[in-house]
Amino acid sequence: MISTNKIYTTIVIAVFTVLLSFQSYSQNWDIPANKSSKNSYIPFNNETAKAGEAIYTKNCQSCHGNPGKANSLKTLKPVPPDLSEKQTQSRTDGDLFYIITTGRVVMPSFKIVLSEEERWKVIAFIRSYNKSYVQVLSKTDPSKSKLVKIVLDFNAKNNKIRVYAKANEASGVVLLKDAEIMLFANRYFGKLQIDKTLTTNSEGYADFNFPKDLPGDKTGNIDIVVNVNDELYGEIEHQEKLNIGIPTDKPALNEQRAIWNTLLKAPIWIIVTYTSLILLVTLVLLYILNTLRKLKKIGDK
Amino acid sequence: MLDQSKKDKITSDLLGSIRLNYSFMIWMAFLVTSFSICIYAYITQLQNGLAVTGLGDYVSWGIYIANFVFFVATSLIGMLISAVLGLSGAKWAAPLARIAEIIALAFAAVAGLVIVSDMGRPERLIYVFIHARIQSPILWDVTVVTMYVLISALLLYLPLIPDLKICHDKLVKIPNYLRNFYKILSLNWNGSLEQEKIILQSTRILAILIVPVALAIHTVTSWLFASTTRVGWDSTIFGPYFVTGAFVSGCAAVIIAMFFYRNNYKLKDYITEKHFDKMGKLLVLVSLVYLYFNLNEFMVPGYKMKKGDAVHIHDLFAGSHALLFWSVQIFGLVIPILLLLFKKMRKPLPMLVIALFVLFGAWFKRYIIVVPTMEHPFLPIQNVPLNFRIYTPTLTESLITLAPIILVLIIITILSKLFPIIPVQETIDHLEESN
C-alpha cells in the first residue's frame, strides 16, 4: 500500500512540477497596478535612446538580439522576445520598467546592475522602434532630488541602521514617506544588498538589520550606499563610510613575490635561474666568437 | 696517405652540387610561386584579422600552434645527430651532421615566424618583450628558441670553415662575388694545426652546450601546455614526451633529405645504404621510446578516467577525433616501427615512404595534442554556434600554415646549394685516418 501511495505522490508532484514550470514560462508577469502605471521622468528622445542603446548592447543584446532583426537567442526557454514586436511594445512603460527591474526565470533582474535612469534609457531605446508610441512623462521632477538629504544612524545595540530621507524645501523640511529604499555595502566585485528593499514610514525613515560579521577594511570601515526612490523626488543615491565592519587585514595575493605577479615581483629563484642561464649561454657564445677572431688572426700571419 | 687523385675526386663529387642548373631553378620557381600564394593568404589575414581562420573563443590555438610545435620538434634532430652522436664517437653519422644541422637551423629559425602568424595583431609583437614576464613559459620559449637558432647556426658554420676555403679554391667557374663570399666566410683558413685545434675545441663546446639548450626548447614548448590545468595537457611527462616525439619527426625529416640529396646530388658513394640502415635503426629506437611515452600519456589518465579526462579520452579513442588519432598512432608510429625491424625495409626507397608517413603522422600528432583539448574546456560550452565548438581550419589558414613549411624548404634548398652538403675536409680526413 505504501508503495502505491508513494507512486501516486510522485506522479502528483511530477504533474505539478510540469504545470508550474509551464506557468512560469507563460507571458503573464502579474505586474502590480501601481508599478504598471509608473512613468519615466526621462523624456524619450534621440539622445536618451542613443544612451540606452549603449546600455542595451552591453546588457541585453546577447539574449534579445537586435530589435527588428529577430535574432534573439533561440536556445533559451522561454525564447527572449524581439523587443520591437507587439508583445513588448503593447506593454506600458511601467510594465517594461518592472520587468527589467525584477526579472524572472531566464530574464535576470537589473535592479542592482542598472540605475533607474539607465533602465529608463533602455526603455527609451526600445520605444524608438515604435513609431506610434507617445510618451506620458511622470510628474517626478528629477531636479528636486538634489533637495533630498539622507542621514544614516547606526545603533550598535541592535545592529540596525536607520536611514532618514528628508527634503529641504523652501517651505521647510519635508519627510519622504513611502519612498522605496535600498541599502548596500560596497564589496570587491559590486554592491551587496543589506536586508530587504524597504519603504520609509510616516516619519520618513526605515530600519535595516545590519549583519554582525561583515568584514570591513583594516580599521573596520565599510562603504555604505543608500538608494532612495521617491514618487516625487526621483532617485537619490548617497554614499557614506561607516566604522561598523569587522577589521580585516588580509594582504592581497599580489603583494608578495609570486609566479602570478608582475615582472618586478617575480620570485627570486626564477630571476636567478633565468638570468644566470642566459648569462652562461651568452658568455659561451662570446667565447666562441672570440676564438673565431683568433682563428682569423692566425690565418693572417 | 690518400693519393691526390682520390682527394680530387671526393672534392669534385661533393662540390658538384654547387652550381646553377635547370632543375634547381624550376624547383625554386615552384617554391617561390607557392610561397607568394601563401603570402597573399597572410595579407588577407593582416587585413581582416584572425576572423579569416577557424579559430574562436574556445579553440584559440589551432593548426598554427600545431605547426609551431612541429617546427620546434623537427629542429631538435640537429642536436641528436651532430651533438649526441658526434660526442659519443658514432663516426657513421658524420656525413649526416650537416644535413641535420641545416634542417635544425631552418626549422628553428622559421618557428618564430609561425608564432607571429598566430597573432591577429602582429604589430604588437614588441609588447611580448616590453611587457615580458619572466615567470611566463612563453618568454622562456622565445629565449631558448633564439639561443638554439644561434648555437645551431654556429654549429653549422664552424665545421664548414675548412670547406669554405676549399669552395673558394676549387670552384673557379663561379662568379667572383660568390668566391669572395666564400673567402670572407672562410676566415683565412690555412689548415694549420693551430686552426684545426680551435675548430675542434669550439665545435666540441657548442656540441655540449646545444644538448641542454635543445632539451630546453622542446621541454619549454611542452610547458606552454603542461603548465595549465587543462585536460590532455596537465601531465608531468609532457617534457620528455615532446622531446622523444621531436626525435621521431626529426629522424624522418633527415631520412627524407638524405634520399633526395643522395639521388639529386649524386652522392650514392657518400650517403650509402649503410647510413639508411643506421638511420632506420635510430628511428626505431626513438619511436619505441615515443610509443612508451604515448602509452603512459593515455594509459594513466585512461585508467583513472577523471571526469574531464574521460570526455577528452573518449573523444580521442572513439569520438570525433578517433579516426585521426588511430591513424596517427598506427600509420605514423606502430607500423613504421614494425616495418623498420626488417633489414629489407631499411633500404633508401622503402625508408623514404616510411619516413613520409612518420613525418605526416608527426604533424597530425601535434594537431591531436593541441586542438581536442581546446574543444574540451572545464566549463560547459553553452548557447554558441556549432563552428565555435568544433574547430575546422579554413583554406586561408591552411595556406598560411603551408607558408613556413615552404619557407623552410627554400632555406634548406639555398643552404644546400651554397655549401657542400657532406663535409669535404672531414670526409678526406676520415678516409686518411682509416687508411
Q: Domain B4-434 is classified in which CATH homologous superfamily?
A: Formate dehydrogenase/DMSO reductase domain (1.20.1630.10)
Weakest mean pLDDT among A10-14, B10-14, B171-175: A10-14
Weakest mean pLDDT among A99-113, A257-271, B260-274: A99-113
Element (H, E) at A190: strand A190-199
Within 8 A of B192 by CB-CB distance, chain A residues are 298
pLDDT of residue A16: 65
Q: What is the mean pLDDT of chain B?
A: 93
Cβ(B218)–Cβ(B246) below 8 Å: yes
Q: Which of A74, A256, A265, A295 to mutate to test the interface with B (most CBs of B within 10 A)?
A: A295
Weakest mean pLDDT among A16-20, A56-60, B333-337: A16-20
* Lookup: cell for A161: 541602521
Residues 6+ apart with CB under 8 A from B1: B432, B435
Mean pLDDT within B391-402: 96
Alpha helices in B265-385 (DSSP H): 273-304, 307-317, 322-329, 335-340, 348-375
In the predicted structure, residue A252 carries a pLDDT above the cut 60: yes
Q: With an 8 Å Cβ cutoff, are B154 and A75 in contact?
A: no
Mean pLDDT within B234-255: 96
Contact of B213 with chain A, judged by CB distance below 8 Å, is answered with yes
pLDDT of residue A19: 57
CA B397/CA B114 separation, integer angstroms:
12
User: Using alpha carbons only, what angle is made at residue A37 by residues A34 and A43, rounded to the nearest 5 degrees?
Assistant: 135
What are the structural domain ranges in chain B?
4-434
Q: With an 8 Å Cβ cutoff, are B154 and A285 in contact?
A: yes
Q: Which phi-psi region, left, alpha or beta, contains residue B188 (left: φ > 0; alpha: ψ -120 to 50)?
A: left
Pairing status of strand A222-230 against strand A234-242: antiparallel
CA distance, residue A239 to nearest chain B CA (Å): 37
Element (H, E) at A131: none
Cβ(B42)–Cβ(B35) below 8 Å: no
In the predicted structure, residue B410 carries a pLDDT above the cut 60: yes
Neighbours of A285 (CB within 10 A): 17
CA B399/CA B117 separation, integer angstroms:
11
pLDDT in tens, A180-192: 999 999 998 888 9
Within 8 A of A291 by CB-CB distance, chain B residues are 198, 201-202
Q: With an 8 Å Cβ cutoff, are B154 and A270 in contact?
A: no
CA A201/CA A193 separation, integer angstroms:
20
Question: Higher confidence at residue B360 or residue A7?
Answer: B360
* Lookup: cell for A115: 540605475
Q: With an 8 Å Cβ cutoff, are A299 and B187 in contact?
A: yes
CA A28/CA A99 separation, integer angstroms:
11
Residues 6+ apart with CB under 8 A from B190: A298, A299, B165
pLDDT of residue B167: 93
ipTM of the predicted structure?
A: 0.91
pLDDT grade, residue A48 (50/70/90)?
A: very high
pLDDT in tens, B352-376: 999 999 999 999 999 999 999 999 9
Weakest mean pLDDT among B10-14, B255-259, B420-424: B10-14
* Lookup: cell for A22: 509551464
For CA atoms B385, B388, B391, B394, give the dihedral sign.
positive
Hey, which residues does A235 pair with through a beta bridge? A229
CA B72/CA B282 separation, integer angstroms:
20
For CA atoms B230, B236, B237, B243, give the dihedral sign.
positive
Report the residue of chain B nearest A62, measured CA to CA: B383
* Lookup: cell for A1: 500500500
Neighbours of A80 (CB within 10 A): 17
- Alpha carbon of residue A79 to chain centroid: 23
* Lookup: cell for B425: 675536409
Mean pLDDT within B63-86: 94
pLDDT of residue B423: 93
Report the residue of chain A nearest B187, measured CA to CA: A296
User: Using alpha carbons only, what angle is made at residue B66 by residues A270 and B346, rounded to the nearest 5 degrees?
Assistant: 110
pLDDT grade, residue B236 (50/70/90)?
A: very high
Cβ(B105)–Cβ(B81) below 8 Å: no
Q: With an 8 Å Cβ cutoff, are B134 and A73 in contact?
A: no
**Could you tell me which of B390, B387, B372 has the C-alpha nearest to residue B321?**
B372
Structural domains in chain A, sorted by start: 27-127 (1.10.760.10), 142-242 (2.60.40.730), 253-281 (no CATH)
Q: With an 8 Å Cβ cutoff, are A298 and B190 in contact?
A: yes
B180 burial (CB, 10 Å; 0-12 / 13-18 / 19+) is exposed
Within 8 A of B199 by CB-CB distance, chain A residues are 295
What DSSP string runs through B176-242?
Answer: HHHHHHHHHHTTT----HHHHHHHHHHHHHHHHHHHHHHHHHHHHHHHHHHTS--TTT--TTHHHHH
* Proportion of chain A in helix, strand, coil states, percent, rounded to 5: 40, 20, 40
Mean pLDDT within A51-67: 93
Mean pLDDT within B334-342: 97
pLDDT of residue B365: 97
In the predicted structure, residue B425 carries a pLDDT above the cut 80: yes
